[in-house]
Every structure is written in structure tokens, then in C-alpha cells.
Chains A and B, each alone.
Chain A
Amino acid sequence: MGRLSSRRFLGFALSLVAIGPPLSAQDLRVSAGTIEDRRTTGKFFGGLEVELKLTGDDLADAKASRVLLKKAVDETGRDLLPDEKKVPDFSTSGGSDLKVSLKNPARGATTLKEISGEVELFTPSRDPAATVTVDKLLSRMDKPISMPALRNQQIEITVVSPKAHRANAAKRKAEFEKEMAKGKAEMEKEMKGASAEEAKALEAIMGLAQAFSGMMDEVGDNDLILNVKDVDGRVMDVEVVRADGEKVSSNGSMSSGELRIMNFSEKLPADAKLRVLVKTKKALVSSPFTLSNVSLP
């Protein structure tokens, strides 16, 4: 246990050295958009959601963005930051709007005194190392792709053949069921005293999760199956490109753990390449923001 902890610590320290603080943005402005204060006596779906609108030249080449909140208080001084301190994922939707989820302000509060933090943009064009292109994708089935550019970032990607994927289905199912049982026990603990309707809703959610897990086993003939080992979470996105660099449009993708399945309606070209976008220090730019006295609806 002690060895594991020190190894984790070392990994964390190395990741700090490798990624480090993002560079400062030159032209990025943040303003408040739609605000929804959903107040309920029920147990679910309550909270304050604030849309942050981003504008400025730095957005032009950004492929993803996220908000790291540092402070959120209403005019009564109530701290609105969520109890769970979770670093949010980047949003790759390409839009210039981000949403932050906070606790409900006081009923009588008419303004948010302050919301502040940092907006981070992922701009791969700022760093050649942030884009790794893997040639001859389809000839690399079932063995890890050996490339220094990936290895240096502690990323290991394997293109999985449908045959190998189907063979692993039973193992994945067993792992999933173990996770579900653990999750259910935690939820039941959490749901003590919940109404019958809420318990039913939870059962339905668990059922849905089970149904979705089975979907990962069903792969189409043209789908691309990847196993992505990325302990430090540096892979921002993966996409398939043609020999000339043009992106091959996918019908969507699913991921669960290390497994990613990208759906394609047509057979991939024989010379298809994989483009891996990596969060490197130089590709991240950040901009502090402060919004004051934001009116509450």
C-alpha cells in the first residue's frame, strides 16, 4: 500500500512537471449567460446553473474548454461551491459557452456577489507535440502502438480487432457487474429514507446503465475499437483522418473505462490514420475571470 502511494505520488509529481501551469490567454473574455436556479424539496436536480459565455480571439483555434472555479458566493455570503471538489472535464463541443453547477443561493439573495476562477482552453495548434498522428492504423491490430510521442506522455493505445473484442465480452461483463453491485450498495446507503418514487427512479437508472453496458459489446463491421491507457488523463480526443489529413466523420462514439468504440457507417480507408490530441503544457492557455453582482432570477 505504502509503495503504491509513493508510486502514485511520484506519478502525480511527474505529471505536474510534464503539464505544469497553462500559459496565459491574451484575449479571452467571460460573461454570464443564462442562469437557472432550480430549487426543489425533492432530492434530485436542484442547484444553480450559470452559463458562462466566452468571447475573444483566443477562442478561434481552441478545440476544448473548461472552467475551474475558485470562488462562488451569493450576496448573503453563502458559499455556493459544490461539496465535491472534482476537476471538470474539458468540453469538446466546440461552442463558446460553458456551464457551471453550483449550490442553490439563499432564497432571499437577489445577486451573486462573486463567481471567479479560471477558464482553460485547449489549443493544439500552439504545440506540435499536442497532435500525435499514427499511420497505418488498420495494420496495427491487437498490439500496443509503439510511438515515442505517445510513450513520453504515458499513453498506450491499442487498436482492438472485433474478434478480440468479442472474446473479451465475458470478462467486461463480470467487471461491470462487480462495479454495479458496488454502486448499488453505495446508492442504497445514500437513499435511506427516500420515497418509493425516488427509489423507483434509481432502479430505472441502474437498469439503463446495465442496458448501456451491453451496448459496448455490440460492434459494427466498420467500427474502430480502441483500448486507451491514459493514467494521467492527457488524451483530449481521438479522431480518424484520411491520408490527406481530412477527418473521417464518425456516427458517434462510446467509451467505458479504457475502451472506446468509434462508429463509422463506411469501411475505413486502408491508409486511415489516427490523430490523438494530447493535453500538453504549451497547448493549454488559461485566463482568470471574475463576475460580480450577477442578478439572480
Chain B
Amino acid sequence: MKLATRLHVAVALFAVSSAVLAAPPLTVSAGDITDRRRNDNFFGGLEIELKIGGDGAADVRGARALVKKAEDETGRNLLKEGAKTPSFETSMSDTAPSLKLELRNPARKAKKVREVSGQVELFLPGRDPAAVARLDAFQSRMDKPAGLPALKAAKAEVTVVSRKTYEAEKKKDAERRRKEAEGAGIGGAMVEAFAGLFEGFMGNVEENDVLVKVDDPGKKVFDVDVIDSKGTKIDGMGSMTVGAFRILKFAEKLPADAGLRVYLLTPKSVVTTPFQLKDVALP
């Protein structure tokens, strides 16, 4: 444990060259580093945690890192081939999300990562009023698109759907899957298995859950919260996203005037900044 602590400190010292972002002051530094090495080519890789700190960190609601260069001291390129653009990580309470860079394993003999650099995208909704759309008393507007100007500007739409609509969507989806399966030459019980996929994913909807259909071709909807009449978030039991639906789970019945707050990624609310970490010690 003492050794781990020393390594941690060492990493922090090497990472002093972290990027300093535009006001409010934010910094990016290396957190824990995990080099998972396996001889079966499964689940292996180097993971570098990026910590976002500084005075403005509490305002960061989401973030993601796009790596442009990563190499160890032997010159080995650590970038993964064909890596997908990562999704935004969401913050928990008042702390900025910690990000994890997924890279290839460095050479066994390498003692440090010579350089990891790229850019971090930060979602700061406080910087743009258009990044937050609010729908009041949604329970009286079931199955009607919210039609809010901020959503229109983002070319997105949000609809809180009733159980009846949800059931109809489920049937429609099952039918679509059945046709797809039959079209692909799948027959018998397998067709029903494919048709039932939607049911399998979304079947477990409880009485107090809120079902939100999100049409968002440009992927601008960052998050959806349920709020009380004063605008305070009502904490639930988590959420899940399947296809165009988000299921927000609640243990208790929501107040009749509960509203919906939709966070939108707008040009003004997303701040992009470069980062560069040098000579990061490897465990």
C-alpha cells in the first residue's frame, strides 16, 4: 500500500504539466493508471484516469476526452486502432466526471508513457441559457411533444409517454423485429426470441417510472432530469436508455407538478481544450 501511495504521488508530480483551461480555471491531471496485461488478448489494455480539477470543476456536467497521441518511452504507439469516439461521462453530484483513456498496453520494459495528448470536451450548461430546456408539469402533457424552442433549435424532440403509448411502441418494435428476423431467414422459436428483445430490455417498467421518448438525430440531448416545481432535481433510482426511450426509475410517486429538465449540448456550452501529459510513470 505504501508503494502504491508513492507511485500515486510520483504520477501526480509527473502530471504537473497538465493543461490549464480557460476561465473558470480548470485543470486536467493523471489519476490512477492501470496496465492490465493478459496473454489471451482479452480485456487487456492501459487505462489512464484523467481528473478534472480547479475552481470551475463543480460546474462541469459532462466531459469526454479525445486522444490524438499516446506513446510510451520506447516509441510504441498506444492508440487503439478503430477506436470509437467516446460518449460524454456524466458528473456525479458536484464533482466533475473522471475520464478514462483506453489505450493499448505499453511495452513491458517501458517505465513511463512519454506523452498522452489530445483534447477534452467539457459540457458547462451554465454558460448558455439555451443548453437547458424546461417542461413544467409533464404529467398533464402525456404523449404530446414538448415543443420547446431550445429543443427545436437543437433539432430534437422530447415526449413523456404514457404506459399505453409505451405498450403500443413495444408491439410495433416486436413486429418490426419479427419481420427483420423472417427477412434474414430465421424461423420458428428464434423469430419470437428476436421479436421479444424489446420486451426483454424494457419490460421491467414500474408504476412510478417516467418514460421519455427522445428523438435526437444530432445527438444533442445530454441528459434528462425530473425536477420539482422549484427546479430542484428529484433523485430517482437510476435510469436506462434503450433505443429512443429513457426510463427514469422512481421508488415513490412523483408530485403532480413535477417537471422535466433537458440538458442540450450547444456550441456555447461545450468547451474544448487541449491536454498534454508527459512522462507519466507506469505501475
Chain A residues engaging chain B, CB cutoff 8 angstroms: 34-43, 46, 104, 107-110, 190, 193, 197, 295-297
Q: How far is the CA of A103 from the CA of B98 in the complex (A)?
A: 28
Given A40-B283, A41-B283: A295 touches B39 (CB 8 Å cut-off):
yes
- Residues in chain A near residue B32, CB distance under 8 A: 40-42
- Residues in chain A near residue B109, CB distance under 8 A: 107-108, 110
Contact A36 B4, beta carbon cutoff 8 Å:
no
Can you add 12 more A-B contacts, CB < 8 Å, to A37-B38, A193-B5? A36-B37, A37-B36, A39-B35, A40-B4, A40-B32, A40-B33, A42-B4, A46-B4, A104-B283, A107-B283, A108-B111, A296-B37
Q: List 6 A-B contacts (CB under 8 A).
A: A36-B36, A36-B44, A38-B36, A39-B37, A40-B35, A297-B38
- Residues in chain A near residue B44, CB distance under 8 A: 36, 297
Chain B residues engaging chain A, CB cutoff 8 angstroms: 1, 4-5, 7-8, 11, 32-40, 44, 98, 105, 108-109, 111, 282-283
- Residues in chain A near residue B4, CB distance under 8 A: 40-43, 46
- Residues in chain B near residue A295, CB distance under 8 A: 39
Contact B111 A37, beta carbon cutoff 8 Å:
no
Q: How far is the CA of A36 from the CA of B44 in the complex (A)?
A: 8
Q: How far is the CA of A38 from the CA of B43 in the complex (A)?
A: 11
- Residues in chain A near residue B36, CB distance under 8 A: 36-39
Nearest chain A CB to B6 CB, angstrom units: 9
In the complex, which residue of chain A has the Cβ closest to the Cβ of B44? A297
Contact B34 A38, beta carbon cutoff 8 Å:
yes
Contact B37 A41, beta carbon cutoff 8 Å:
no
Q: How far is the CA of A74 from the CA of B59 in the complex (A)?
A: 48
- Residues in chain A near residue B108, CB distance under 8 A: 107-110, 296
Q: How far is the CA of A201 from the CA of B28 in the complex (A)?
A: 23
Contact A46 B283, beta carbon cutoff 8 Å:
yes
Given A41-B4, A41-B7, A110-B108: A297 touches B37 (CB 8 Å cut-off):
yes
Q: Which residue of B11, B40, B283 contacts A39 across the interface (Cβ within 8 Å)?
A: B283
Nearest chain B CB to A106 CB, angstrom units: 10
Q: Which residue of A40, A46, A190, A297 contacts B39 across the interface (Cβ within 8 Å)?
A: A297
Q: How far is the CA of A190 from the CA of B5 in the complex (A)?
A: 13
Given A107-B111, A296-B108, A297-B38: A43 touches B33 (CB 8 Å cut-off):
no
In the complex, which residue of chain A has the Cβ closest to the Cβ of B111? A107
Q: How far is the CA of A33 from the CA of B36 in the complex (A)?
A: 16
Q: Which of B5, B11, B98 has the most CB of A within 10 A?
A: B5
Contact A35 B38, beta carbon cutoff 8 Å:
yes
Q: How far is the CA of A195 from the CA of B152 in the complex (A)?
A: 43
Q: How far is the CA of A6 from the CA of B186 in the complex (A)?
A: 72
Q: How far is the CA of A109 from the CA of B108 in the complex (A)?
A: 8
- Residues in chain A near residue B39, CB distance under 8 A: 34-36, 295-297
Q: Which residue of A43, A104, A297 contacts B1 across the interface (Cβ within 8 Å)?
A: A43
Q: Which of A107, A110, A193, A295 has the most CB of B within 10 A?
A: A107
Q: How far is the CA of A190 from the CA of B2 in the complex (A)?
A: 11
In the complex, which residue of chain B has the Cβ closest to the Cβ of A294? B39
Nearest chain A CB to B270 CB, angstrom units: 26
Q: How far is the CA of A46 from the CA of B108 in the complex (A)?
A: 16
- Residues in chain B near residue A110, CB distance under 8 A: 108-109
Contact B37 A37, beta carbon cutoff 8 Å:
yes
Contact A107 B34, beta carbon cutoff 8 Å:
no
Q: How far is the CA of A295 from the CA of B108 in the complex (A)?
A: 11
- Residues in chain B near residue A42, CB distance under 8 A: 4, 32, 34
Q: How far is the CA of A34 from the CA of B98 in the complex (A)?
A: 31
Nearest chain B CB to A167 CB, angstrom units: 32
The 9 closest A-B pairs by CB, nearest first: A40-B34, A39-B283, A297-B37, A42-B32, A297-B39, A37-B37, A39-B35, A41-B7, A36-B38
Q: How far is the CA of A157 from the CA of B272 in the complex (A)?
A: 67
- Residues in chain A near residue B8, CB distance under 8 A: 41
Nearest chain A CB to B222 CB, angstrom units: 23
- Residues in chain B near residue A41, CB distance under 8 A: 4, 7-8, 11, 32-34, 283
- Residues in chain A near residue B282, CB distance under 8 A: 39, 107
- Residues in chain B near residue A193, CB distance under 8 A: 5
Nearest chain B CB to A211 CB, angstrom units: 15
Q: How far is the CA of A34 from the CA of B38 in the complex (A)?
A: 7
Q: How far is the CA of A64 from the CA of B244 in the complex (A)?
A: 49
Q: How far is the CA of A38 from the CA of B283 in the complex (A)?
A: 9
Q: How far is the CA of A43 from the CA of B98 in the complex (A)?
A: 17
Q: How far is the CA of A295 from the CA of B39 in the complex (A)?
A: 9
Q: How far is the CA of A104 from the CA of B53 in the complex (A)?
A: 31
- Residues in chain A near residue B38, CB distance under 8 A: 34-37, 297
Nearest chain B CB to A119 CB, angstrom units: 21
In the complex, which residue of chain B has the Cβ closest to the Cβ of A197? B98
